[in-house]
Amino acid sequence: MTVETTARTYMINGPEPELWYRDLISCLQATIGSVLAREGVDPLSVLGAGWRFLHLPGDVRHEEFYYPCLPDESGAIDLGTALAPHHALHARWWQPADEQDVWREVRASLAEDRLVIAAVDNFHLPFRPAYGDVHAAHQVVIYGLDETRGVVYVSDAMPPAFRGAVPIEKFLRSWNSENPTDVQDAFFSDSRIGRRCLDVRLDAVPAPLTPELLGGFLRSDVEDFTTAGPVRTGLAGFDQFAAELLDRCRANDAGALRELYPFGWAMQAQASLHGELLRRCGREWRDPALAGAGRAVETVAHAWTGLRFTGAHGLGDPRAATLDIAHHATLLRSAYARAVDAVGAVAARL
Amino acid sequence: MWRNSFAAEYLPAGGSLVHVDGVPFEFPPVCEGPDNIRCAGQFIKVPRDRYDWIHVLAASERRCEDTVELTFADGSVDAEPLRVSDFWAAPAWFGEVRAFESLAMHYPHHVQRGVPAVMWAQRVAVTRRADLTGILLPRNVAMHIFAVTLQRTEL
């Protein structure tokens, strides 16, 4: 339980949130990783356990924390299920219900000793490099609120990394920003922030990761990669995504490259975490083939860099970038195929 | 892509001879003009000789790996991996040597503390026992090469 030190001061118990970070992840994984770490759960073992490909045409938002999610049978979107398909992780967006008291839910969460993940616009946050310069959608963790002193306590693991107090009025501007179109950041601007928050819950403590358990995860993921479905999943889904990307580049559609950067980051981050987890397990279990499979998955993450940045640099003339986009899509497809093969081989015997 | 850059005050003088982990490099000019190669399939002719290693000073916009194609005098060509870690506040993921670090990063409109920019010393193996004549860089705009040094085979 938190201690309510004054009527309007709320702070989580214990130490400040862990700054959980890897260089290929986005603020999405970093913030959820902080929440998991505070629950006493190893973030890598949850966020790195699954590895999928999913592209949803028309769905990409211009936000650093975009991640493709399929709705469940009821039509509900659960970001946690997409990020961690093998764990009981749930993450759902919410917004304050009362325009006259936008902090009500935040107070309630902090009073329950729960962190709050909030969407923000970097332009208004003094600790972000983009402060006063570039509009860009980002996510941070709120771990305290002191309405008497007029500050929000914010944690952000993304470089330059920050933990501390931010004036409420600045935070409110960031949290409620229109995040208007900004020519300096075509990828993460033009997406209204709208005081969104992400509620993240882990319903069950993960079972200790064993070769048998991991083997089940891997077999499920390999099946997803190798089975064509009604939506763009797996290797077949990648092929559809790449073919459409090239068609749009040939048509000089800059929107295709604006979408590629945030979408690619989602896929890149996931591959990097999954690869790292497999390498770690391979080392701990003295299984060099598993470690090698992890490295193959990391190669997928590294190949996303080539595609994402070729697209970003080609934004001004998509048609001219088509050949290089095709080149990197081919390299990435090859990396996916090799990694699926390597993971499939170890999954069959774990 | 974001028009970020190293702060010159944290780097060696332009044109100077620097040693990184025992490897000499001629540091590129430090100026307002071009000071690195953004990899786009350029071909670098090299003095024909036997080499064991190609050492590079490099940076990457995010962690990246690609291939360079090594051209030999006998007509053979080998593709070898070039792996470069992110220059933006990141560890040496590929086991490179941290050659130079700018403790501040230059953004288009301000100087940012707390986000170091790193130039890595990486190497590419020349496994073929033949005379090397050239290096074809990858078509990968995320990768930037600042200097190249060839290490001859010890006979």
Please indicate, yes or no, if residue A56 is contained in any of the structural domains.
Answer: no
Question: What CATH number corresponds to the domain at position A15?
Answer: 3.90.70
Neighbours of B155 (CB within 10 A): 4
**Which of A129, A306, A312 has its CB closest to that of B64?**
A306
Euclidean distance between the first and the last CA atom of chain A, given in angstroms as a whole number: 41
Asked whether residue A261 falls in the same domain as residue A230, the answer is yes
> Is it true that the peptide bond before B24 is cis, omega within 30 degrees of 0?
no
pLDDT value of residue A178: 85
B66–chain A nearest CA distance, Å? 8
Would you call A302 and B64 a contact, using CB atoms and an 8 Å cutoff?
yes
Would you call B60 and A301 a contact, using CB atoms and an 8 Å cutoff?
no
Asked whether residue A167 falls in the same domain as residue A115, the answer is yes
Q: Which residue has the tokens 């939506």?
A: A231
For the segment A155-185, what is each residue's pLDDT rounded down to a tens digit?
999 999 999 999 999 999 999 988 878 777 7
| Residues contacting A7, CB < 8 A, separation 6+ | none
A60-97 b/e with 16+ CB inside 10 Å = b? bbbbbbbbbbeeeeeeeeebbbbbbbbbebbbeeeebe
- Which of these three, A151, A177, A202, is where a domain ends? A202
Please check the confidence at residue B100 and state whether its pLDDT lies above 80. Answer: yes
- Closest to A225 (Cα-Cα) out of A100, A85, A93, A125: A85
- Nearest chain B residue to A184 by CA: give it: B2
To probe the interface with B, which of A189, A273, A305 has the most B CB atoms within 10 Å? A305
Asked whether residue A129 falls in the same domain as residue A252, the answer is no
Residue A263 sits in which domain range?
A: 211-347
Give the B-side interface with A, CB within 8 Å: 1, 60-66, 83, 85-86, 88-91, 93, 105, 107-110, 112-115, 139-142
What's the CA angle centered on A176, arms A174 and A179, to 5 degrees?
Answer: 70
Q: Is A161 on the interface with B (CB under 8 A)?
A: yes
Please indicate, yes or no, if residue A57 is contained in any of the structural domains.
Answer: no
Domains in chain A: how many in total? Answer: 2
Ordered structural domains, chain B, with CATH: 5-152 (2.60.120)
Please indicate, yes or no, if residue A42 is contained in any of the structural domains.
Answer: yes
Asked whether residue A284 falls in the same domain as residue A175, the answer is no
Q: What is the pLDDT tens value at each position of chain A, 350 positions in all?
A: 555 445 589 999 999 999 999 999 999 999 999 999 999 999 999 999 999 999 999 999 998 899 999 998 899 999 999 999 999 999 999 999 999 999 999 999 999 999 999 999 999 999 998 888 888 899 999 999 999 999 999 999 999 999 999 999 999 999 998 887 877 777 887 788 999 999 999 999 999 999 999 999 999 999 999 999 899 999 999 999 999 999 999 999 999 999 999 999 999 999 999 999 999 999 999 999 999 999 999 999 999 999 999 999 999 999 999 999 999 999 999 999 999 999 999 999 99
Please indicate, yes or no, if residue A66 is contained in any of the structural domains.
Answer: no
For the segment A245-298, what is each residue's pLDDT rounded down to a tens digit?
999 999 999 999 999 999 999 999 999 999 999 999 999 999 999 999 999 999
- E strand or H helix at A37: helix A27-38
| Amino acid present at A32 | I
Q: Is A159 on the interface with B (CB under 8 A)?
A: yes
Tokens linked to A323:
């050949």
Contacts with A265 from chain B: Cβ below 8 Å: none
Q: Which of residues 325-344 of A touch B (CB under 8 A)?
A: 327-328, 331
pLDDT value of residue B2: 67
- Which of these three, A181, A202, A223, is where a domain ends? A202
